[in-house]
Structure 1
Amino acid sequence: MNELGGLNRDLGLVIILQLKMKGLYCHLAESNEDVKFVFQDKESVPHVYDHYVKLQVKVCAFSPLNIKLLMELKLQEDFLPIGREVAGVVLEVGPKVSFFKPNDGVVGILPLDCKESGLSNTLLVHEHSLVKKPENVSWVDAAGTICDGLRAYMALHTHTHVSAGTTVLVMEGANPFGTIVIQLAHHRGAKVISTASTVEDKMYLEGLRPTVGIRQPLVARVVNLYDGKVDLVDSCLEETGGLGVNIVIDCGVQLYSKEDEPVAKQHLPHKHDILSLLSVGGHWVTTVENLQLDPPDSQFLFRKAATISFLNEEVWQLSNMHQGKYLHILKDVMEKLSCGTFRPQLDEPIPIYEASVAMEMVQKKQVKKKQVVRL
């Protein structure tokens, strides 16, 4: 009986090891709409060369896959690698590597054209895609914050100039990205307003407090949009004394009338609401890649001298012109995480055998917290 138990344990260990040698990939159907996430055998990591490092992955975090962007860039393949936000230990470095040495803890975002899944046990990564992980930051927090931190910096620093005295509206701030934006904006001295689509989201936002300094709420006002009794424009104008919001960061908007929008978008604000609550010289940072503005909308923006920016964090991967600035942002994200300015909204780490189910939920936007896999 003991021998049989030992055999079962050995067999289980072999299965786990086999899983670790596989990577998670997205298999596209002919319509490119239905996707399946499957494990595929991974080829052994080639010899380390030039500026590349061999990385042992500890934790991998998930973000939705932008299939449309990959198609436009002609990076679409039958099987697309999943899991680009990774944290791990450097095992070996190439002869031209200058930033890292073996046993360094690192974190980074794999390039768009990377052929390997972040759920692989070992990866070959260019050193310019990684930064060092602070010793007091866990692997889970590092991988779960790096991408949302990058997006938050782009929204508040690359596209706009947040500072003390500005007012920032974060739409649906209870999600992982919105949480990081709120913390960064408050850290810079801005007044933060956010919206909530459920009672749970409202309670979460009202309970946000800084870990350092005065324990005042991070969000000055939470506008509840779930009961239809509160007007977003009126609330923002009231909070700003009628001047309007300096910076708006959305997570989607309604482009048409409510009857023409799908149910999933009916809780989002209409684009005219965003334009109406913007201040003179305000900035609207949108995540909507197909945003359409009619001539009256453009005239409205012109009269306010306001601007619209499109938030696409992949621009750093598409052009290496500002590689130094990109790495500086990643380092600053880790520093903010190290000193407690950032507290990511993460779910409990999941084992690798549940990764395909978790990624399906991430792709369908059915999760509220960041999903991370511990290898």
Structure 2
Amino acid sequence: MHAITQHSFGGPEVLELTDVDRPQPLPSEVLVRVRAAGVNPVDAMVRSGAFPLLGEPPFVLGWDISGVVEEVVPGVTRFDVGDEVYGMAFFPRPGNAYAEYVAVPSRQLARKPRALDHAHAAALPLAGLTAWQSVVDAGEVQAGQRVLIHGGGGGVGHLAVQIAKARGAHVIATASGAKYDFVRGLGADEVIDYRTVDFTDAVTDADLVLDTVGGDYGRRSLRALRPGGLLVTVVDRADTELRQAAIEAGRRFAGVTVEPDHVGLQDMAELVDTGKLRPYVEHTLPLTDAAKAHHLIESGRTRGKIVLTV
């Protein structure tokens, strides 16, 4: 089968189309014919060596997939051959998503949302589960709460805005002025242009802040929270000093590392199919253009997601 592999760390040019053996599914797994693979910032960080999550090359990047079940190992009861599925394979271990076929544990997959094609479904798992596990699982956001989401136009942020809104929250998002209309269109009640407005002047009583940006945003966000409010970060999750600062300020802290979760995938699919959640895909490219996709995601200017079609 064809797959995008790399044999050294480096720029996007290290990604190359190669022929590799088709995987053989093990007990508890299904073989999926991949129709689309999502591209995430972590993919580029792993490729470059900045975040050597997979060890030394060679390896196949990617975790987000949407496709069709090709083979079911006896004993697996969740899917049949021909079912359309989507999910996040094996994260943080090798998911091998930039390929024509992937073998995946059945409980890391869910049925693809009916309302989405494969390209849009592949945009959802990693970023969507990150948002879901932050807003719903860690944040337990309830109707009427005030939620501030940093990076509301990004891959995780644009989904978090919609998930929080679907739960009845008053949603405030930071974004550049160029993304103002986009983020308002997602359902945000307020959008703060971080280039011209200090969000700590505009927000002081949030029940939850979700930080997808990092840097000094986490520490500054403590001032935007009400006493007892929760700071959720998907960037500085291991920052013990930030955790301590939150405690000393009378706020709570949660660092979230995304995990495979078929229940979360099923819940998001229901939101999609009821019209409350829609992943935005700015660029759809063929698998052979994986290097171009990485150039785009490293630009930092993408709205929503980038997807490779297979």
TM-score range, shorter chain: 0.7 to 0.9
1:264 maps to none
2:284 aligned with 1:307 = no
1:22 positional shift: 2.1
Tell me the amino acid that sits aligned with residue 226 of structure 2. S
Structure 1 residue aligned with 2:174, among 184, 187, 195?
195
The residue matched to 2:280 in structure 1 has which SS? coil
2:88 pairs with one of 109, 118, 122:
109
Larger radius of gyration: 1
Q: Which residue of 1 aligns with 2:227?
A: 280
CA distance in 2, matches of 1:300, 1:148: 25
Q: 1:160 aligns with which of 100, 125, 139?
A: 139
How far is the alpha carbon of 1:39 from its aligned partner? 2.0
State the SS of the aligned residue for 1:101: coil
String of CA shifts for 1:70-111, please: whole Å, max 9, x gaps: 64x6x4131231221111111121112111111111111111
Whole-Å separation in 2 of the counterparts to 1:189 and 1:346: 25
- The structural deviation recorded for 1:172 is 1.8
Query: In structure 2, what is the equivalent of residue 23 of structure 1?
Result: 3
Asked whether the 8 Å contact 2:115–2:272 carries over to 1, the reply is no
Query: 2 CA distance for matches of 1:340 and 1:194?
Result: 21
Contact 1:22 1:39 in 2 (8 A): no
1:346 counterpart residue number: 281
Q: What is the Cα-based RMSD across aligned positions, in Å?
A: 2.5
Residue 167 to residue 57, structure 1, CA distance change in 2 (3 Å): same
CA shift in 2, pair 1:115/1:235, >3 Å: closer
Task: Say which structure, 1 or 2, has more relative contact order (CA 8 Å, 6+ apart).
Answer: 2
Query: What is aligned with 1:45?
Result: 22
Q: Is the 8 A contact 1:60 1:374 kept in 2?
A: yes
Q: Equivalent residues in 2 for 1:145-156 (5 A)? A: 145-156=124-135
> Over residues 109-152 of structure 1, what are the superposed CA-to-partner deviations in whole Å (9 max), with x where a residue is unaligned?
11147656323222222212211113333111211112222111
Q: Deviations over 1:225-278 (max 9, x none)?
A: 223xx33212113xxxxxx111001122334xxxxxxxxxxxxx4x44211121
Q: Pick closer, same or farther for the CA change 1:99–1:276 going to 2, 3 Å.
A: same
Per the alignment, do residues 113 and 280 of structure 1 end up closer, same or farther by CA in structure 2, a change over 3 Å counting?
closer
CA offset digits 1:156-211 (Å, max 9, x no partner): 122111001210001120112111111111111111111122x2112222333xxx
Secondary structure class of the residue paired with 1:253? coil
Instruction: Say if 1:39 and 1:117 are closer, same or farther in 2 by CA, change over 3 A.
Output: farther
Partner secondary structure for residue 241 of structure 2: coil
Moved more, 98-107 or 58-67: 58-67
Q: Is the 8 A contact 2:34 2:66 kept in 1?
A: yes
Task: Tell me the amino acid that sits aligned with residue 232 of structure 1.
Answer: F
Partner Cα distance (1:47, 1:353) in 2? 23
CA distance in 1, matches of 2:245, 2:36: 48
Q: Is the 8 A contact 1:149 1:177 kept in 2?
A: yes
Instruction: Write out aligned runs for 1:208-247 (5 A).
Output: 208=186, 218-227=187-196, 230-237=197-204, 244-247=205-208
Structure 2: how far apart are the matches of 1:43 and 1:81?
10
Find the counterpart in structure 1 of residue 241 from structure 2: 293
Q: Distance in 1 between matches of 2:246 and 2:107?
A: 42
Q: After superposition, give the CA deviation of every residue in 1:268-300 in whole Å (9 maximum; x if it has no partner).
A: x4x442111211110001123363637xx8466
User: Residue 249 of structure 1 aligns with which residue?
Assistant: 210
List gaps (5 residues or longer) in structure 1. 1-20, 209-217, 238-243, 256-268, 318-325
Instruction: Report the TM-score when normalising by structure 1.
Output: 0.74
User: 2: distance between equivalents of 1:112 and 1:146?
Assistant: 11
**Residue in structure 2 matching 1:57, options 18, 34, 46:** 34
In structure 2, the gaps of 5 or more residues are none
**How far off its partner does 1:53 sit?**
1.6
Q: Displacement of 1:368 after TM fit?
A: 2.9
**Counterparts of 1:334 and 1:70 in 2: how far apart (Å)?**
30
Q: Distance in 2 between matches of 1:163 and 1:116?
A: 33
> Relative to 1, partners in 2 of residues 1:48 and 1:171: Cα closer, same or farther, differing over 3 Å?
closer
Separation in structure 1 between the aligned mates of residue 95 and residue 134 of structure 2, nearest angstrom: 29
Amino acid at match of 1:128: R
Give distance in 2, aligned partners of 1:299 and 1:347: 37
Identity between Structure 1 and Structure 2 (%) = 24
Distance across 1 between alignment mates of 2:288 and 2:213: 32
Where is the strand percentage greater, Structure 1 or Structure 2?
2
Q: Deviations over 1:49-69 (max 9, x none)?
A: 422222111111111225379
Equivalence map 1:129-144=2 (5 Å): 129-144=108-123
- Count of residues paired in the alignment: 305
